[in-house]
Structure 1
Amino acid sequence: MPRTTRPRKGAARGGKRAPQAARPPPPEPEPVTPDGPRYLYGIVRATAALELGRIGVGTVPTQVYALHESGLAALVSEAPGRVVDPTRAHLLGHQRVTEHLLREHTVLPAAFGTVLASEAQVRDLLRTAHDALAGVLEALEGKVELGLKVLWHREHLVQRLLLEDAQLARRDDEPEAEHEQRLASAVEDRAGRDMRALLEGLRPRAVALREHPPVGERMLLNAAFLVERTGLESFEEKVRSLAARSDTYAFRFTGPWAPYSFVDVRLGPRDEDAVGT
């Protein structure tokens, strides 16, 4: 029996190939004009061209590019307006850019929502604050930020302390209110000592530490660490080791991030005095 074959998918019967629709050319990026407000993501040390593509803030992600002055590069895009609201699209755009930069550069990040009037004002910032910006970038060279949040269930710690220390039990002649106050004091003292011990265990592996106010009732610690890239693995191992020792606390470890907690960029009339660590 003669063997039969099916025509290839996409080919016409009779040996003729079906005509293929022409593919539309990729869309050309919209031209960026030098006038109008510019959204600033951060500053790096670079002389080569940097084009990050359409990943910036905006409901439709904007084109992100670099403005260069004397070895510094400011990453900018057209701003959606003079004021940029912290919507999900805008926050994700800002984060995408800084994460992209962080792969290959030390980043001096600008705060979310930093908008300058024009490209000319961005270049003026790079010129007038050049030494301060370069100094901060040198101090941050090879370093990133890691975040650590520690949460607790208060009642879990209460029960643990009652098991560990029989003297914390309510005495027969002790009013309930006094016992609750004594127990609360013991719980607060223990949680404080545990957090201080945690920070002391991590401090030697970090260049710097910043403590932020806890958010919500369950958060005990909200800390940021400036860490050498070469020490990331060691730092993470230490966090895992400390977390494994306790079932009383929950650890939330994030990063690496651009070092927002360790720089202060305030754009104003005297930009040369507007940058610090």
Structure 2
Amino acid sequence: MMHKAKQFGGRYLYAIADADAAAGGVGGTIGVNGTPVYVIPEGPVAAVVSNIAEKRIRPERSKLSAHHGVVKRLMADTTVLPVAFGTIADSLQAVRNILQENREAFLEQLNRVRGKVEMGLRVTWDVPNIFEYMVNCRPELAALRDEVMGKQRPPSQEDKIELGRLFDRLLAQERERHTEAVVEVLAPHCVEITQNQPREEREVMHLACLVERDDQKRFEEGVFEAAKLFDNHFAFDFNGPWAPHHFVNVAIEV
């Protein structure tokens, strides 16, 4: 006799929220794989989940979009602690265990970010060649470039390394100087500001800003005020509101 394999009955986690605030749920089949999203309460906290048959999922565009869509729908009405994409608990009881074991930590973080949202700000050098731009801005880099390139022989590997190190050092100095200027303007409009590592050479800064939900307009005005300190070689791009990803630590072991 053939026995049908038992189907995995896991729960996909999107966020942690206050049980009372999340009681109304999200509604609709907007979860990963088009599944209904619902709430599992446990005392004062709750997990927002959907059923899932897989033990692991790939970060495909449709699944990422569904995950972030649920979190965004939730944060429109309440404060949430976003859970990392792809977090899957084995069962309903496993979710309850997570909520029980981490209750105090979840409550502490919910209280810390309650009524707040995350706004992002990315500033880049809007120039065709960042090295040439830096040469024009920093005389010491121009002097070393001219010395290296003006020799009778082609520049050696050591010459190139020395020039590259100076470029990197001056680029870091420029980033630090510009970031300090922007943070000084934005600080009165933010509860907290986190500086992320630049993801590319032309990126000046990548800030995550924790902002009171009611102060988003003031934050945007602050961005425009900060932009006035810079010329047309810089591009400002702010985004949000988002759930406070950079200001919470939802470490869930499943």
TM-score normalised over the length of structure 2: 0.79
Q: Counterpart of 1:158?
A: 134
Distance 2:53 2:136 in 1: 53
Structure 1 residue 127, shift from structure 2 partner = 2.0
How many residues in Structure 1 have an aligned counterpart in Structure 2?
229
In structure 2, the CA distance between the partners of 1:176 and 1:138, relative to structure 1 (3 Å rule), is same
- Map Cα deviations across residues 124-164 of structure 1 (whole Å, 9 max, x no partner): 222222222112111111011111111113257437637xx
Alignment identity in percent? 37
Structure number with higher relative contact order (C-alpha < 8 Å, ≥ 6 residues apart): 2
Q: Counterpart of 1:91?
A: 64
Q: Counterpart of 1:23?
A: none
Find the residue that maps to 2:253 and give its secondary structure.
coil
Q: Counterpart of 2:5?
A: none
Q: Counterpart of 2:99?
A: 126
Q: Counterpart of 1:254?
A: 239
Distance 1:168 1:121 in 2: 58
Contact 1:67 1:76 in 2 (8 A): yes
TM-score normalised over the length of structure 1: 0.73
In structure 2, the CA distance between the partners of 1:45 and 1:248, relative to structure 1 (3 Å rule), is same
Is 1:54 the counterpart of 2:29 in the alignment? yes
Structure 1 residue 71, shift from structure 2 partner = 2.8
Greater Cα offset, 78-87 or 99-108? 78-87
Is 1:210 the counterpart of 2:185 in the alignment? no
Find the residue that maps to 2:84 and give its secondary structure.
coil
Contact 2:81 2:244 in 1 (8 A): yes
Structure 1 residue 80, shift from structure 2 partner = 4.8
Unaligned runs of 5+ in 1: 1-34, 270-277
**Equivalent of residue 228 in structure 1, options 212, 216, 227:** 212
- Map Cα deviations across residues 70-103 of structure 1 (whole Å, 9 max, x no partner): 1322110012511121100110001110110011
Greater Cα offset, 190-199 or 222-231? 190-199
In structure 2, the CA distance between the partners of 1:99 and 1:187, relative to structure 1 (3 Å rule), is closer
Q: How does 1:12-91 map to 2 (within 5 A)?
A: 36-47=9-20, 48-58=23-33, 61-91=34-64
Find the residue that maps to 1:265 and give its secondary structure.
coil
Q: Counterpart of 1:105?
A: 78
Structure 1 residue 111, shift from structure 2 partner = 0.8
Contact 2:190 2:212 in 1 (8 A): yes
Distance 1:62 1:73 in 2: 19
In structure 2, the CA distance between the partners of 1:129 and 1:160, relative to structure 1 (3 Å rule), is same
Is 1:263 the counterpart of 2:248 in the alignment? yes
Q: Counterpart of 1:241?
A: 225
- RMSD value over aligned CA atoms? 2.8
Amino acid of the residue matched to residue 121 of structure 1?
A
Q: How does 1:112-191 map to 2 (within 5 A)?
A: 112-152=85-125, 153=127, 154=130, 157-158=133-134, 161=137, 174=147, 176=149, 181=163, 184=167, 188-191=172-175
Contact 1:156 1:248 in 2 (8 A): no
Distance 2:235 2:106 in 1: 38
Higher helix content, 1 or 2: 2
Contact 1:157 1:187 in 2 (8 A): no
Find the residue that maps to 1:111 and give its secondary structure.
coil
